[in-house]
Each structure stands twice: as structure tokens, then as C-alpha cells.
Amino acid sequence: MRKVIFACFTILGVWLLLLGLRAVASRIVLDLMSQGAVVAPKGVSPDLSNWSNSYWSGVPVSDLIGQRIGATLQLVVYTSLLALGIAGLLLFLGVLLSRITERPLWLAKLRTVLRLVGVSKAVSSPIFLGIFPLAILVFPLGIFSWSPPIAGQVIPGWLVLYVSLLPAWLIVQAGHGELSRPFDSNVELTKHLAVTSVTRLLKLMGAIFVVAILAEQSSATPGLGRLLLQAVDTRDMPLAFGIAFILAVIVVLAKLVADLTGIAYNRPGKNRTTGSAIALLPSRYLIPKGWVIFSLVLVFVVILTALVIPAIAPYHFNEIILADRLSPPSAAHILGTDNLGRDVLSRLLFGIRLEVFSSLSVVAAISVVAFMWALLAAAVRNRHDWLGDILEDVVMLPRDIVVAFPWLVLLLILMSLIGGGIVSVGLMTGIVLLPHIVGMMRELSVSAPPEKSWTRSVLLSVPVVFILGVAGALLYISSIGYLGLGVPPPQPELGSMLAGSGRQYMITAPWTAQWPIIVLILLPLFWVMAGDALLEKLGFRSKVVWAKVME
């Protein structure tokens, strides 16, 4: 009952938040129209006070959303089913390998390595990232001909596979985290992993919407993602707010179903932990110290590189040499040049510098607020009674309201209101990332080693959350840049480099796109590896901490 009540409060809070932004949005659109930055279609005189209709088409917002929501939901369903299938297969292999290597004892080392690969994002991240190019290569070659119909159109099966990899990966992490619990039989274990996977998928609905929105930009799928980008670009705020509200309600309801399913499955009186567990040692003994040091050294090298980039970059990031435009890699330009003759390596280096320093600044600024917020939630939860549970829900309600929006949706709307620029990007990223940071601290505080007090648990979570938070900020900033609302040119930013000349000349000059893609994969990966390795070495039991950034 408490979960249902606070889900209703969350939906009400979402509506009030959008209502509070409405007046601000109307004034901003009016100012942009007076400055000529937004031009109404010929013959259209929008009524900025009428939020039931689109500004520019006059069509009711409900009709526009109704025409598109089916396509997005179909893509989400296909993605969810495929993600569950991939995760189920990998979890089955994980259980099988654990059983096989349970005895003899000389296989303990192999069991340790297998678990490290299966559970730790620090090791499994490169494996999953390696599937991305495989998905892009295999499906177009016709080896798999599955192409699901969505809204009357057939889309490539590899695109659905591509979208499903992120939720599948996060489901596997959560599922493997449950394998150390004892069960009476293999049937109970299978049932438990099935329930865990489905509830985890429902809680990842916001992340699935994000990857679906990004995927829709690369296909002809007439879904809400393309409609949202169109509304943001044209400042059609009633339409953008309507899409945000619908997606937030779906996310809240999905999480509510997940919570109620978990409560019903783990209801009092059901003893699920009387059997023998799969032979797995505590994670803090399984993460080699050398791996932790290696991951942290990678992060240190990234920061050090960002510091010295002005001294090592061969050219200025905006040095234009038209005679060398679209030149392939050579001795003069190691990674080639773009459409204006600018050195790709220099722009990549300055883009890394911008991303890293912006992310560090954002996370450092919000960590203090997040720490105090998480500390308050842990303090009220420490009462260990029904009043403590209610007080914790009240403390976390503002976080739940903001996290109800898929992070990319909220970030797009805020950026469309405040405009581009490095300060704006950092400010909006901090606002959107703050509740996710709090969620990570809360998750860590309830999964800390048993011998730690609640205050030490929150304090111990700070370095882990900081490192993972930087990875999240890198992801947020590059995504908003890719969609054209980030740092304006000519300042190089990795996402905008990929979306601009990189996408335009991807065929004729592939080096303009391939290097930003590689850096965008490796840069957050280094931070996730370091954060996850430190998390496990410190003895935290949760495997869903990084998922809090994506939810």
C-alpha cells in the first residue's frame, strides 16, 4: 500500500514539476520568437497559453502522441523480450559453469575467473562492448534475417539487438549478484532468477526508453523519439512536455509493478534460503588488487592527459586548413582531417579535455548535496520500523519524481529551455544527475559489508559514487551533444563531433566518425571499470549500482 501511495505522489509530483516549468517555457518561446531564433510557420499564430494543442500545427497533443506511441512501445517490447532472452542465456551459462567448477578444489581459480568475467562490469564491459560491432556486422550480412515490423514498417533486426544489449547487460549483473544466495533446488534458483530478471527489466524501463529514442534517430521508425527531438528543435513545448509526462507515467507504473512483484514474491513466510548456495566467494576477495590498481591508473592517466592536452595537441582545435580538408590519416595528420581541414586528433584531444573536466566539475559540485541527502535517508531508515520506511520514502520522493523521467528526455527539455554553452550543459547535467547519484549512494549504503555502520557505509560509498558519477556525466554530456543541444561549435565535443561532420562524411571519410565512436566507448568504460572494481574490493554486495545512472 505504501508503494502504491508513493507512486501516486510521484506521478502528481511529475505533473506539478511540468506545470511549474510551463510558465517559464512559454516566456522563453516568446522571447526566442521576438529575437527571431524561433520562427513560426507561415500563417501560424500560436496561442502560447493553450497547452492542449501543438504550438505550430494546432493538432491536439494527445492525438500526436497517440499516433506515435504505438511504434515506440512496440520497439520497447521487442527490445525487452530480446534482452530477457540474452540475459537468460548468459545467466544459465553462468549457473552451469559455476556448478561444473564447484569441485574439485583445483578449479577454484577457474571459478574465480569465470565469476569475475560474469559479474564484474570491470571485466564484462569490454565483452559486451565487443558485441556492438558484431551486431552491426552480422545482421546486415544476412546471417540473421529477423526484421520485426514496427508501426507498419520493417526495421533491421540488428538495430533491436543493438538496443537490447544495454538492458541485457544490466540484467545479467543483477542476476549474477543473486547467485550467492542459497536455494533448495535448481527449480527454486531458476524461478528466483526469472523473477529477478523481470523485475530488473521493469526498473530499467527508463534506460530502455533512452536507447530506443537514440535508436529511432538512426531508423525510419515513426516513434516518440523522433517526435520529441522535433518538438525540442522547434520549441514546441506542449508536445515535448506531453511526451515527457507520458514516458514518466509509464516508468513509474513499471517500477511500481516491479516493486509489488518483488514484495509478493518475497512475502513473509516464504523461506527461499535454506539450501546450498553456488560456491562463490565474497566479491571483495575475488577482485584482484592488481586489477583495482590498473583501473584506477587508467583513470589517473585520463585526467593527466586532459591536463597536458594544450601542450601535446599538434594543432589548435579550430585551425582550418582548407587545402587538407577530408585528408586521410598521414604523417601530418595522424587521424586525418574533417570537412574544414581541421586535425581530427587535435579536436579529439580537446574534446576529451572538455568532457573530462566538465564531468569532474559537475560531479564534484553535486557530491556534497548528494552525500547529505543520502545521509539523511540512511538516518531515518536506521529506525528499522514502519515510520522509518515512510520517512525514507518522503526523503527520497523528490529523487523519485526527477528519476521518473528518462534522463535523456528531461535533459533535452531543460537544454531546450536554457540553451547551449558549456555552463548550461554542466548545470543541466548536474540537475539531472544529482538524484541518480543519491540513488547510487542509497543502494551502496544498504548493501555495505555487514560489519560497517550506516554512517560509515554512506561515507565509504563516496569514492565509488564519485567515479561512477563521472562516467554518468560523460555519458550525459556526449549524448546531449550528439543530439545537437550541447556545446556550440567550434568548440570540439565528442558527441557533436560524431553527429556533425562525422555522421555526414561517415562513408567518404570514415575516420571523422570512427575515432569519436572509439573514444566515446573507451572514456566512460575506464571510469566504470575503476568504480566497479573499487566497489567490489570494498565489499559492497549490490550489482545494480551503475544501473542507477541509466534508470
**pLDDT tens digits for range 321-333:** 888 888 888 888 8
Question: Are 225 and 171 in the same domain?
Answer: yes
Question: Are 154 and 222 in the same domain?
Answer: yes
Res 526 pLDDT > 70: yes
pTM of the predicted model as reported, rounded to 2 decimal places? 0.86
Least confident range from 63-67, 212-216, 295-299, 300-304: namely 212-216
Tell me the mean pLDDT in the region 400-427: 88
Tell me how crowded residue 210 is: count the other CB atoms within 10 A of its CB. 24
Stronger pLDDT, 230 or 222, i.e. the higher one: 230
Q: Does 335 reside within a domain?
A: no
Least confident range from 33-37, 149-153, 155-159, 210-214: namely 149-153
Res 161 pLDDT > 80: no
Burial class (CB in 10 A: 0-12, 13-18, 19+), 195: middle
Which of 225, 247, 228, 244 shows the shortest CA–CA distance to 236?
228
Stronger pLDDT, 498 or 141, i.e. the higher one: 498
Q: Does 534 reside within a domain?
A: yes
CB under 8 Å to 550, separation ≥6 — which residues?
A: 166, 170, 204, 206, 207, 210, 407
Tell me whether the omega of the peptide bond preceding residue 104 falls within 30 degrees of 0, making it cis. Answer: yes
Copy the grid coordinates of residue 103.
569441485
Q: Does 117 reside within a domain?
A: yes
Q: Does 22 reside within a domain?
A: no
Q: Beta partners for 154?
A: 149
Percent of the residues in the chain that have a pLDDT greater than 70, as a whole number: 81
Looking at residue 38, its pLDDT comes to 75
Average pLDDT, the chain: 80
Range of the domain at 99: 1-7+56-268
Q: Does 43 reside within a domain?
A: no
Question: Are 95 and 183 in the same domain?
Answer: yes
Q: CA distances (Å), 422 to each of 375, 477, 480, 487, in order?
A: 31, 10, 12, 5
Least confident range from 128-142, 260-274, 451-465, 467-481: namely 128-142
Question: Are 231 and 299 in the same domain?
Answer: no
Question: Are 405 and 433 in the same domain?
Answer: yes
Question: Are 262 and 348 in the same domain?
Answer: no
Which of 491, 36, 42 shows the shortest CA–CA distance to 235?
36
Stronger pLDDT, 514 or 175, i.e. the higher one: 514
Tell me the mean pLDDT in the region 20-41: 80
Which of 276, 295, 2 shows the shortest CA–CA distance to 122?
295
Res 273 pLDDT > 50: no
Confidence of residue 2 (pLDDT cuts 50, 70, 90): confident
Res 541 pLDDT > 80: no
Q: Does 16 reside within a domain?
A: no
